[in-house]
Amino acid sequence: MGTENLHNREATKKLKELVDKIDIGILCTFVPESVYPHAVPMSRQEVDEQGNIWYLFSTESETYTNLERNSKISVLFSHVGDYNFLSVNGIAEISRDGERVDKYWNKMMESWFEKGKDDPRIRILKVVPQEAHYWDNKSNKLITLLKMAANAVSGSKMSLGRDGELNL
Q: What is the pTM of this model?
A: 0.86
pLDDT of residue 68: 96
What is the per-residue DSSP string for 99-132? HHHHHH--HHHHHH-TTGGG-TTEEEEEEEEEEE
Query: Cα(105)–Cα(110) distance, rounded to whole angstroms?
Result: 8
Least confident of 64-68, 70-74, 154-158: 154-158
- The CA–CA distances, whole Å, from 76 to 18, 45, 134, 158 equal 11, 15, 10, 27
Task: Give the residue from 90, 67, 81, 54 showing the smallest Cα distance to 166.
Answer: 90
Question: According to the CATH classification, is domain 2-167 in 2.30.110.10?
Answer: yes
Which sequence spans correspond to the domains of the chain? Answer: 2-167
Tens digits of per-residue pLDDT, 4-61?
899 999 999 999 999 999 999 999 999 988 999 999 999 999 999 999 999 999 999 9
Mean per-residue pLDDT of the chain: 88
pLDDT of residue 154: 57
Task: Give the residue from 148, 157, 161 showing the smallest Cα distance to 84.
Answer: 161
